[in-house]
Amino acid sequence: MIDLRSDTVTRPTKKMLEAMFRAEVGDDVYGEDPTVNLLEEKVAKLLGKEASIFVPSGTMANQLCIKAHTNPGDEVIVERYSHIFNDESGAAAALSCVQLHPLLGERGILYPEQIEKAIRDKKDFHLPPTRLICIENTHNRGGGTIYPLNVVKEISQLAKKHKIPLHMDGARLLNATVACGVDPVEYTRYVDSVTLCLSKGLGAPVGSMIAGTKEFIEKVRRYRKMYGGGMRQIGFLAAAGIYALDHHVNRLADDHRRAKRLAIALQKIPGIKIDPERVQTNIIYFEIRKKGWDAKKAVEELKKKEVLVLHIEGPLLRAVTHLDVNDDDIERAILIFGELFG
């Protein structure tokens, strides 16, 4: 089976499993798990922040940051198709009692001018105060879009001007930095908090990281316990994260190359609509345009031929390249797409 639904479907490699079995563990809630401590030090250094913390998932990571940055009744600016707004079960409202203010970006990218227009007037008590700005890099529903570095810098300057924290959902941040050939710090220097997912392109089975100031991370640590994310001997999982950061970062370029190869091939198939120029990293969005077919039927027929893709909405499908998809898989998938939609 060629599973292109998401980069979350990856399984630990043999060497990663060996690293997990060798891990030295302790009670992380007491701060006594040496492998977790090592991972947190490693990520803080990688992202140029004072501290970081391991949490079970990317959704929890984002929600902990929102909780730590805001108070009930506040408003958070997000992009209309962001993960926080669409894919986290209304958690911001339920857990932090904040209101999300969605702005429609350009393939997921927000620009300073539109953000500034959305910042509430602090003097008008009828309005919820704007307490946080969130951006997503790479932007999933934008098609794996990379946030332009200069735009992040400009948003940061705007946020500082209005004394509003800037949070980056950096689940796939390393996809962006590998594609651009820059150090992650070139992005993270401009944000007050940042998340990083270990279980997507990096191939670890579980876990995300949050990085920020020591004071902020200590606040997050309390909320992590409150949300049920305080785990115990999790060094086994942290060891997978360490292995992923040591061995699976540079290979993200292979995922990007394979995604571009697939996108270019799909463009040549009459029953598929896609713009390969929009494929910047490992995420591909395309539409089924074959007469008599809809997206649901396409997913079912592809599955019968052992290719899995994800139906997003309407005619839109998503394919994501990752650690468990090689060059031969891509070539076989191209042939199958051609058979069905050519």
Residues 235 and 286 occupy one common structural domain: no
Whether the Cβ atoms of residue 285 and residue 317 lie closer than 8 Å to each other: yes
Residues 259 and 243 occupy one common structural domain: no
The angle subtended at Cα 281 by Cα 144 and Cα 53, nearest 5°, is: 70
- Collapsing DSSP to helix, strand or coil, 284 comes out as strand
Of the three residues 224, 247, 270, the one that is the final residue of a domain is: 247
- Collapsing DSSP to helix, strand or coil, 166 comes out as strand
202-230 residue pLDDT tens: 999 999 999 999 999 999 999 999 999 99
Of the three residues 247, 268, 287, the one that is the final residue of a domain is: 247
Residues 241 and 291 occupy one common structural domain: no
Closest CA to 243 of 7, 20, 8: 20
Residues 303 and 229 occupy one common structural domain: no
d(CA 41, CA 159): 27
Identify the CATH number of the domain in which residue 169 sits.
3.40.640.10
Write down the mean pLDDT value for the chain: 97
Element (H, E) at 173: helix 173-180
At 182 the pLDDT is 97
Query: Going along the chain, which residue ranges are E strands?
Result: 2-3, 51-55, 75-79, 99-103, 130-136, 166-169, 193-197, 208-212, 272-273, 283-288, 307-308, 310-313, 316-320
Residues 105 and 219 occupy one common structural domain: yes
Residues 140 and 238 occupy one common structural domain: yes
Number of domains in the chain: 2
Residue 5 forms part of a structural domain: no
Of the three residues 198, 216, 247, the one that is the final residue of a domain is: 247
pTM, rounded to two decimals = 0.96
26-78 residue pLDDT tens: 999 999 999 999 999 999 999 999 999 999 999 999 999 999 999 999 999 99
Identify the CATH number of the domain in which residue 274 sits.
3.90.1150.10
Residues 33 and 168 occupy one common structural domain: yes
List own/partner pairs for 30-34 with CB under 8 A and 24 or more apart: 33/232, 33/233, 33/234, 33/235, 33/238, 34/235
Place of tokens 């796939």: 172
Range of the domain at 314: 251-341
Query: 339 burial class (0-12, 13-18, 19+ CB within 10 angstroms)?
Result: exposed
268: Cβ contacts below 8 Å, ≥ 6 apart: none
Residue 192 forms part of a structural domain: yes
At 59 the pLDDT is 98
